[in-house]
Amino acid sequence: MLEQTALIAHNAAFDIRMLVNDLQRCGLLSCGDRLRQHLFCSAEAFGALRPSSPRDLTTACYLLGITDGGPGSVWRTVHSALADAVLTAKVVIAMTSILQDAPPSKLPPPPPLPCRLRRRAPQAAEDESDSQSRKRRLPLSFSGEYVWVEEPAPLQCRKKKYQKKGQFQIITKSRKKRHFALSLCRAATRTRVIQCAGLVAQPVVHRGSESHRYVVAEKPQQRYRAAAPDGEPDRLVRYLGGNVSVRAISATDLVQKVTGRSLMATALLANGRDEGESLQMRIQGAGPIGTIITEASSALTCRGMVGYPSADAASVPELVGMSQAATLRLTRTHPFWKRPYTGTIALRCGEIAEDVVQYLAMSEQTPASMGLSVEWDAEAGRVKSAEGWLVTLLPGWEETEVAVVETNIKTFPNMDSNGSSRPDAICQHMMRELRGEFQAEQTPTFSCKCSKSRLATAVMMLGKEEVLNILKNEDLRAAVIGSDLKRLAEEDLAAAKDGWETSVGGQGHVIIIGAGLVGSLCAVVLLQKGFKVHLYERYQDIRSIPSAGRSINLSVTSRGLRAIKALGGTLYDDIISNLTTKVMGRIIHTDEKVIFQRYGKDDTEHNYSVSRLDLNKFLLNAAADAGADLHFDHALLESSDFLTEGSVGSCLHFKQGGGSFLKVHADCPVVACDGAGSRVRYALRRCGLTEFTEDLLTRGYKEVLFPKPEVGKEFGATGEHGEACDGRLGLHIWPRGDHMLMALANRDGSFTGTIYMDNEGEEAFAAFTDTPEGRAKCSQFCEKYYSDAIPHVGGLDSLVNQIVRNPTGILGTVRATKWASQGKVLLIGDSCHAMVPFFGQGCNCGFEDTLWLNKLIDQYCCDGGKVSVEKCTGENFAACFAAVEAERKPSADAICEMALENFLEMRDKTGDVKFQVLKKVENRLENMFPDKFRSRYAMVCYGGEGNVSYANAKDLGVVQASILEKLWETFGGISAEQVNSIELGDAEALIDRLLVPKQKELGIDLSTVKH
């Protein structure tokens, strides 16, 4: 928990520093403002929260005012500090109300552009003594962090002996061999020294993402798009030769947006990391520039900032602030890691390249060399080029390789690109005589989650009274934008009085997030118990929209329908008679013939096809009729807080349809049914209360509609006993190896189909674009693999149009480690166990969650089937939610795995002769021995009672598969048509010996497996 606190605080520190820079850049915050000092004090406190070091933790506790330093106090104080009224109100007022309404002409102009710089050729440093050990030797120590200054005006220097009019001068302190540059501001005559390491030549601070600029400032008349020399795009390449690895980066476009040299260094270090991993470099000095923070992911999405971009000092080390406490820290994080990995060293000199090389040697025992540079185009007023490189020696390096690389580094200033791109040319130069080969390339891009909308959510942490008091504050008006704030503050005062925040709940109340299928059914279940239900949905009311939501049909089975049956009344019968179509089994369209495979042991066992939209509307109406309090257009925000005191209660933050925000103090449990992209789940992870994985398939899907077939042209199939199967009563599958087409009937006789295939590749969605070339490829593909389906879809043009134009859906699996947190919140449905649709159990599994919630809430919080106010305590809800998680999580994990297995079965095996034979043998066995043997499919779809859970069905399925394999060995080679004539005398003996003991061990009653 303490490590999660540290991670939250670490991110908070980064965001706070970003905000300060943006406020100062727009002139909304002065350098001497007390708020600025307060913000940085908070940022430093958050940044110090590192449990890996007791000293850091002690410092953080001191800065945050924590006396005991215990984990509980750290949690409470961090969240209290994050909710600080001055911080959040300043941010929201400056970033939303003022900048949104005030005209640009009223805003102060941005600070003047900094000095003009150009790149200086790198210089090689002397090697360390040969007497040092091989392990600690730094054979490639090098820094290219020095720049020359180019100005048309004469330079003036504080020291007269260095004054040379009309020329450029690098001042070298010969004693320590440290370099710094002189520059002349356009608006002044005095000479300033600016930092050369870690800052872009034009130190543009972080401004938010490209699509969400929340700082409004005067724009130049001409906007330049930066490019590398000769118009090259940003690019990073990696070469490998012998035991030497070279990375080179060209990042001209990137450094126009964020901190330059330090960010290039971070990108070079992040290249080649595991997928999903991110790396942050933090340089903490004692000088006027403050802290430098840069981040880069393994995909090279980057962002960065500096504490004081306009700082001035006499030299670079003074600017960074060399002291005993000055450090360079690298932190590696990954969503699957329990804790981040951090390494820290003392700054060596204040030059980033040298300090990074020192870090690699001391922390990772990797000899390395690095060079970074930025060239400024004075005439164009932009960065002309930004590049860098990193050379590392791999384990087992030889002295001869080191000598070659050192020679190449010394001759680097005279390098000739020879027509190659700059990164490739650098790598090839460093690899001369080493026969280096190209390994990989990436494109570095700027990406940040900061936006005006995200910053505005910070105000949700404040109370209404605190916001009103801050808006009335005279000092605040003067500090931010003067008299204009008074008018805006009055408008905000009026708006804040109307629904800024509210309280919901009490004993006998429950909040449900998400009004989809599971959320609507859960509301009906709880309302029938007598609970007062408040249902919040992010989208508008689907009942008022003629056509909305996914129209892909669902397969509902008796397992899921039991939750509706348990409610009694006519709800179940109304759904079956008015919304569904029977599905008796699979109709498999192979290349040679059409085959029918029944789902159950006979025609009494079948599934139902139903429109997701129609079923959702029906359940919503049922919830509304039962008295649910419905709130549409309320999108829950990830900033919601589930760490409030007590075992029940939370603080929910919503963004409403009009863009306004609502803070709900929930004094009751929350049941999250908000789907695979659950914001509740993300909020719980932010609070350190759960972890989860989201595993996406490389395949996607598109909807394909089949018109109602003409009379006599229904595409049916022949059953296993020769009976005809109506095409409207089957799940149609066209298995084609790496892809497949499926279709389910609608009540009007039409079919809703889905085509599944790879997203990338020659025969994939990416290749089938809505262009003449893409359509031609798609036509060839359809005629090659689905020629027998083309007449049923309405012709080739109809099928091609739908494939190239319809959006591509995402397929994936979500698994959450924890579903419940005390009596505060419970995750059910797709919010904690989303799965791929190939077993047709996503909806059924969610419905079964509500069935178990119905049973267990009856046990813990009700008397005689109705809610008991005396029993609605935090302890009872916590016990109920923990019992739901303990009962359902093993089954949810099992069905997620079986859904993936069924995808392979439907795609690859349904057309296989052995598979078809064993399916018929399986059907014979469950008809001959119904109390001893039921197919795994039947247990999954028609189980649920008699301890036939998903998890137990999966375990039994493994044993049954082994029995079928043994039988195949005895009669292998027969066709599916011959199955009914073979003897299965050995089958019962195998079942009694292998399967029945397992059933008794698990306490399973197969007689309950029925429709």
Which are the contacts of 98, defined by CB distance < 8 A and separation ≥ 6? 28, 480, 481, 484, 485, 488
Give me the pLDDT at residue 536, please: 96
Task: Quote the strand ranges of 443-598, DSSP E.
Answer: 445-446, 501-505, 509-513, 532-536, 553-556, 580-583, 585-589, 594-598
Q: Which of 42-56, 446-460, 785-799, 845-859 has the lowest mean pLDDT?
A: 42-56
Examine the pLDDT at 969 and tell me if it is beyond 70. Answer: yes
Examine the pLDDT at 445 and tell me if it is beyond 50. Answer: yes
Task: Let me know: does 28 contact 480? Beta carbons within 8 Å.
Answer: yes
Give me the pLDDT at residue 955, please: 93
Give me the pLDDT at residue 488, please: 42
- Indicate the pLDDT class of residue 153, thresholds 50, 70 and 90: very low
Model confidence over 135-151: pLDDT tens digits?
A: 322 333 233 332 222 22
Give me the pLDDT at residue 428, please: 87
Which are the contacts of 442, defined by CB distance < 8 A and separation ≥ 6? 235, 236, 271, 299, 300
Examine the pLDDT at 200 and tell me if it is beyond 50. Answer: no
User: What average pLDDT does the segment 192-219 reach?
Assistant: 27
- Indicate the pLDDT class of residue 312, thresholds 50, 70 and 90: low
Which pairs from 225-232 meet CB under 8 Å and 24+ separation? Answer: 225/253, 226/252, 226/253, 226/255, 226/256, 226/382, 226/383, 227/252, 227/253, 228/252, 228/253, 228/385, 228/386, 228/387, 228/422, 229/384, 229/385, 229/422, 232/421, 232/422
Q: How far apart are CA 709 and CA 794, in angstroms?
A: 9
Task: Let me know: does 747 contact 579? Beta carbons within 8 Å.
Answer: yes
User: What average pLDDT does the segment 628-641 reach?
Assistant: 91
| pLDDT top residue among 912 and 640 | 640
Give me the pLDDT at residue 696, please: 86
Give me the pLDDT at residue 727, please: 79
Q: Which of 61-70, 90-99, 154-163, 851-860 has the lowest mean pLDDT?
A: 154-163
CA angle 818, 822, 826 (to 5 degrees): 55
User: What average pLDDT does the segment 449-456 reach?
Assistant: 54
- Closest by Cα among 907, 929, 934, 914 to 979: 914
Q: How far apart are CA 955 and CA 917, in angstroms?
A: 23
Residue for token pair 């010969």 = 174
- Indicate the pLDDT class of residue 400, thresholds 50, 70 and 90: confident
Examine the pLDDT at 264 and tell me if it is beyond 50. Answer: yes
Tokens at 798, concatenated: 């109809």
Q: How far apart are CA 176 and CA 413, in angstroms?
A: 23
Q: How far apart are CA 874 and CA 870, in angstroms?
A: 11
Give me the pLDDT at residue 60, please: 42
Examine the pLDDT at 778 and tell me if it is beyond 90. Answer: yes
Amino acid at 77: T
Give me the pLDDT at residue 236, please: 93
User: What average pLDDT does the segment 108-117 reach?
Assistant: 31
Which are the contacts of 824, defined by CB distance < 8 A and separation ≥ 6? 642, 644, 647, 648, 649, 650, 669, 670
Examine the pLDDT at 199 and tell me if it is beyond 80. Answer: no
**Residue-averaged pLDDT of the chain:** 73
Give me the pLDDT at residue 510, please: 95
Q: What single DSSP character describes residue 869? A: G
Examine the pLDDT at 972 and tell me if it is beyond 80. Answer: no
Give me the pLDDT at residue 552, please: 63
Examine the pLDDT at 177 and tell me if it is beyond 80. Answer: no
**How many CB atoms within 10 Å of residue 334?**
15
Examine the pLDDT at 722 and tell me if it is beyond 80. Answer: no
The full set of domains in the chain, from first to last, is 2-110+463-498 (no CATH), 117-122+135-213+227-446 (3.55.30.10), 505-580+611-696+812-885 (3.50.50.60), 912-1008 (no CATH)
Q: Where are the alpha helices (DSSP H) in 806-873?
A: 830-833, 842-861
Q: Structure pTM?
A: 0.59
Model confidence over 538-586: pLDDT tens digits?
A: 999 998 876 544 456 888 999 999 999 988 888 999 999 999 988 888 8
Examine the pLDDT at 245 and tell me if it is beyond 80. Answer: yes
User: What average pLDDT does the segment 69-96 reach?
Assistant: 42
- What is the distance in angstroms between the CA of the first residue and the CA of the last residue of the chain? 46
β-strand pairing of 532-536 with 629-631: parallel
Examine the pLDDT at 168 and tell me if it is beyond 90. Answer: no
Examine the pLDDT at 64 and tell me if it is beyond 70. Answer: no
Give me the pLDDT at residue 137, please: 29
Model confidence over 892-922: pLDDT tens digits?
A: 999 999 998 888 877 777 667 788 888 888 8
Cα 92 to chain centroid distance, Å, stands at 26
Per residue, what are the HEC states of 738-765?
CCEEEEEECCCCCEEEEEEEECCCCCCH
Q: How far apart are CA 847 and CA 559, in angstroms?
A: 8
Model confidence over 21-34: pLDDT tens digits?
A: 555 555 544 444 44
- Indicate the pLDDT class of residue 269, thresholds 50, 70 and 90: very high
Give me the pLDDT at residue 590, please: 84
Tokens at 619, concatenated: 């359940």
Examine the pLDDT at 592 and tell me if it is beyond 60. Answer: yes
- Indicate the pLDDT class of residue 655, thresholds 50, 70 and 90: confident
**How many CB atoms within 10 Å of residue 131?**
6
Percent of the chain whose predicted confidence (pLDDT) is above 70: 66
Examine the pLDDT at 92 and tell me if it is beyond 50. Answer: no
| pLDDT top residue among 458 and 241 | 241
Cα 828 to chain centroid distance, Å, stands at 20
Model confidence over 469-513: pLDDT tens digits?
A: 655 554 443 333 333 334 444 444 444 444 577 889 888 899 999
How long a stretch of residues is the chain? 1011
- Indicate the pLDDT class of residue 259, thresholds 50, 70 and 90: low
Amino acid at 744: L
Examine the pLDDT at 214 and tell me if it is beyond 90. Answer: no
